[in-house]
Structure 1
Amino acid sequence: MTAPSLQASHAPDVVSLGCRLNLAESETIRTLLGEADTVVVNSCAVTNEAVKQTRQAIRRARRARPGAQLIVTGCAAQLDPQTFAAMPEVDRVIGNAEKLSPSAWKSAEPVIVSDVMALAETAQHLSASFSAHAKAFVEVQNGCDHRCTFCAIPFGRGNSRSAPAGAVVERIAALVDAGHHEIVLTGVDLTSYGADLPGTQTLGTLVERIMKHVPALPRLRLSSLDSIEIDDRLFTLMTQEPRVMPHVHLSLQAGDDMILKRMKRRHNRAEAVRIVERLKAARPEIAIGADLIAGFPTEDEAMAANTLALIDDCDIVHGHIFPYSPREGTPAARMPQLPRETVKARAAALRATSAARRDRWLESLVGTRQNVLVERSGTRGHGESYAEIHFEPAPGLSPVIGISITGIEGDHLLGEPA
């Protein structure tokens, strides 16, 4: 979650922290700023560490751009606007309900934060292209109707709401016409897409429409999915449609049934293992990613061991490990807490096991041929299964190329244009 460096000029800049949804929204914010000498910190509040990193990004931004107007938005700003408004570095605070509204950025009000729970629809994005990125992120859903006991994000994002499928298809077609070779569908609770729309729309029906109406799109990637909501239509597309990338990131959070129940998750351990087994059986090259929380309140050694074992049982090669962080106002924050040393140790164990699993997976790719989306540096990119691949650029390199993998250095694959 390291913030990017700021531009040295007086051009507007947006520092985006946290999720892919924030990154997508930051592109829209960038178009709303015009030529103003402004820096925006689009904040994250998924953990206490994320909030701390937001404050650090604000201070770095002020040091780098002392004369710019500095505005904070995003989930941390939505949840605690007065704290950020009181920071001497901050000029204005804009909430999640307003951050895609042109009027909010034209206003001089120091704090514009309304009740995000009252939102009933997603904002329409205004940016025409993700000029700084090889891939484009498209928000199709926002908010969450579930109330996991550890999570404050629904109170920062509001209830679940979906973008109309026709608008999504039109936007993706425009991004493909602008030269983007990969589209990533983003949302807070992506697999809840369509429940608030007329008819029986789902994420699967949306992906079907995209595949049908944007035939020029080479690669479609899905961001985090709730495993229990992968229905038959979506499963078929993920395993049989070659333009849907073989990379599935699951919101698993834990591998112990009692902890999952106390988290108020809607799946159990066996269901998580079973969906991965089905996915891998139908499309063996699928790479599994997952979010896992270490040291949830009441977690004992046996429960922690069950989560640790889930990395191998679900073949998790893209592990996102989070030490549990008590978020004020959440039920989990009122549960018996573990010592921070225990939480950190369990997070370290999960990271080590995850890294070892990833290394073995990368080793298995040596000698294979991969289709790589070249990113803006021209020396790196990601394969279809999201393996990060480094190579020497060739003259006239196409944004999507095939390479033969020849070796591994650390977590990075090395290759050469084939």
Structure 2
Amino acid sequence: MSLAAAPDAPSPATNAPEVITLGCRLNAAESDRIRAMLDGRGDMVVVNSCAVTEEAVRQTRRTIRRLRRRRPDARLLVTGCAADIEREALAAMPEVDTIVANADKLAPASWGAGHNAAALPPLKMHQGSSTAATPRTRGFVAVQNGCDHACTFCVIPQGRGQSRSLTVPQVLGEIELHLAEGCREVVLTGVDVTSWGHDLPGAPALGTLVAEVLRAFPALPRLRLSSIDGAEIDPLLEDLLAGEARVMPHVHLSLQHGHDLILKRMKRRHTAAQAIALVARLKARRADIAVGADLIAGFPTEDEAMHRANFAIVRDCAVVHGHVFPFSPRPGTPAARMPQLDHATIMRRAAELRAAVADTRARWLGSLIGQPLDVLAENDGTGHAPHFAPVRLPPGMRGGAIVPLRAARVEDGLIIGEQA
């Protein structure tokens, strides 16, 4: 699962309830539901935590301490993955009043709420605020939760449990709500999105869901997928990624590494050659498809030759949207018991790998100069092209529409767009 820290909400009034989200988009979607269940209770502060790396846990602790200093009289509750995986350590913090198990975070009783769960808002997340003049832009729909795999480095199954899928009608119902609020792009997300359907009758594959979404909403202009596992891409999904104009030309792959022995020790289900072949097939059919990837630097037993293989996979798959994670041992995982590299080596390799991705990305952005781009204008003066290239909008342009622009130049990692 690809992770990005969700920004803190603006500081509330002294007596307002507050929910701070750390970690993934799914956490952010769940925080919306928690916020609705707080029922206006101003004495409640909730940290929806992340535990995917040691740094994520440190950030959770820092956030707890900061909130306690700012809200000394509030009741401070902690939920999320770290609340399960680091339960004893977090419960021992003097700032914490209560731990709410991750599995219980969407239960109204956990927050002292009297809601009927069926009456709560749907589990969804938007990007951008909404007003009559600036409608919402992108809607995130969590189609799946949990993970059935056992990657040796990953602690997420401990915090999220087994894979559970929304049914097709449930997904369509949530998308309909997003479109009613003005969203022009829908993103299907989850912990292990490509495992969607494995637990449903008939075990449909993700391609079936994507096809149903496109069929049900012919006016939906843009459909995007969050991080996917290349080993689970079914033939229909590959066809839609390669040939359907409304499915965005952007795949973010859970690659993790470029060396086969490390992939085996991670218990990944693909080889480097298979990942390269997948990208080659997609690019042969859709030349503008942009590739993102999650990559881990400094995995246990990684030597310099294996580290260089990570550079090779960045080059061979033309990774332009890269998330590089320095390896950190997570409690209870097999990788934590493997021979570890020293911290300085891990951080050096992560920095070198980030530099390799940055170089590939810079050359890609430069290659787009002069090209026309259909950009989804968001409410902060930026937007994204179909292949997820970030674009600075012309001054005064409002969010909420898909606008034709021309890529004029690149500044600070952003394409500067001008009227086409």
TM-score over 0.5 for the pair = yes
Change (3 A) 1:135 1:30: farther
CA contact 1:3–1:57 (8 Å) conserved in 2? no
Which ranges of structure 1 fall in alignment gaps of 5 or more residues? 109-123
Q: Does 1:211 align with 2:211?
A: no
- How far apart in 2 are the matches of 1:336 and 1:299? 10
In the alignment, residue 408 of structure 1 is paired with which amino acid? V
Matching residue of 1:332? 335
Matching residue of 1:121? none
Matching residue of 1:365? 368
Which ranges of structure 2 fall in alignment gaps of 5 or more residues? 115-119, 130-135
Change (3 A) 1:65 1:380: farther
Matching residue of 2:133? none
Matching residue of 1:413? 415
Matching residue of 1:227? 230
Q: Does 1:24 align with 2:29?
A: yes
- How far apart in 2 are the matches of 1:59 and 1:73? 15
Equivalent of 1:55, from 44, 55, 61? 61
- How far apart in 2 are the matches of 1:364 and 1:11? 48
**Larger mean Cα displacement after TM superposition, 125-134 or 355-364:** 125-134
- How far apart in 1 are the matches of 2:9 and 2:113? 27
> Following TM superposition, by how much is the alpha carbon of 1:193 offset from its aligned partner in structure 2, in angstroms?
0.7
Matching residue of 1:119? none
Q: Comparing both chains, which one has the higher relative contact order based on Cα–Cα distances under 8 Å and sequence gaps of 6 or more?
A: 2
- How far apart in 2 are the matches of 1:363 and 1:64? 44
What are the within-5 Å matches in structure 2 for residues 275-286 of structure 1?
Answer: 275-286=278-289
In the alignment, residue 391 of structure 1 is paired with which amino acid? L
- How far apart in 2 are the matches of 1:78 and 1:176? 35
Matching residue of 1:306? 309
- How far apart in 1 are the matches of 2:16 and 2:186? 27
Matching residue of 1:44? 50
SS in structure 1 opposite 2:102?
coil
Matching residue of 2:72? 66
CA contact 2:45–2:76 (8 Å) conserved in 1? yes
Q: Does 1:274 align with 2:285?
A: no
SS in structure 2 opposite 1:97?
helix
Equivalent of 1:104, from 110, 127, 145? 110
Percent sequence identity over aligned pairs: 53
SS in structure 2 opposite 1:136?
strand
**Larger mean Cα displacement after TM superposition, 14-23 or 276-285:** 14-23
In the alignment, residue 156 of structure 1 is paired with which amino acid? G
CA contact 2:377–2:393 (8 Å) conserved in 1? no
CA contact 1:246–1:286 (8 Å) conserved in 2? yes
- How far apart in 1 are the matches of 2:125 and 2:309? 44
- How far apart in 1 are the matches of 2:149 and 2:102? 18
What are the within-5 Å matches in structure 2 for residues 179-198 of structure 1?
Answer: 179-198=182-201
Matching residue of 1:323? 326
TM-score scaled by length of structure 1: 0.92
CA contact 1:394–1:417 (8 Å) conserved in 2? no
CA contact 1:6–1:15 (8 Å) conserved in 2? no
- How far apart in 1 are the matches of 2:214 and 2:143? 15
> Following TM superposition, by how much is the alpha carbon of 1:90 offset from its aligned partner in structure 2, in angstroms?
2.1
Q: Does 1:4 align with 2:8?
A: yes
* 1:59-117 Cα shifts (integer Å, max 9, x gaps): 22233333433221111112122322222222222122111111211179xxxxxxxxx
Matching residue of 1:264? 267
TM-score scaled by length of structure 2: 0.91
> Following TM superposition, by how much is the alpha carbon of 1:200 offset from its aligned partner in structure 2, in angstroms?
3.5
How many residues were matched structurally?
Answer: 402
Q: Does 1:392 align with 2:394?
A: yes
Matching residue of 1:120? none
CA contact 1:6–1:13 (8 Å) conserved in 2? no
- How far apart in 1 are the matches of 2:403 and 2:70? 38
Change (3 A) 1:213 1:311: same
- How far apart in 2 are the matches of 1:41 and 1:359? 36
Superposed CA RMSD:
1.9
* 1:14-62 Cα shifts (integer Å, max 9, x gaps): 2221112112222222222221223322111111111111111222223
> Following TM superposition, by how much is the alpha carbon of 1:307 offset from its aligned partner in structure 2, in angstroms?
1.2
SS in structure 1 opposite 2:187?
strand
> Following TM superposition, by how much is the alpha carbon of 1:401 offset from its aligned partner in structure 2, in angstroms?
1.5
- How far apart in 2 are the matches of 1:216 and 1:24? 24
- How far apart in 2 are the matches of 1:26 and 1:5? 11
* 1:165-187 Cα shifts (integer Å, max 9, x gaps): 11111110111111111111111
Q: Does 1:13 align with 2:18?
A: yes
- How far apart in 1 are the matches of 2:160 and 2:123? 21
- How far apart in 2 are the matches of 1:268 and 1:29? 40
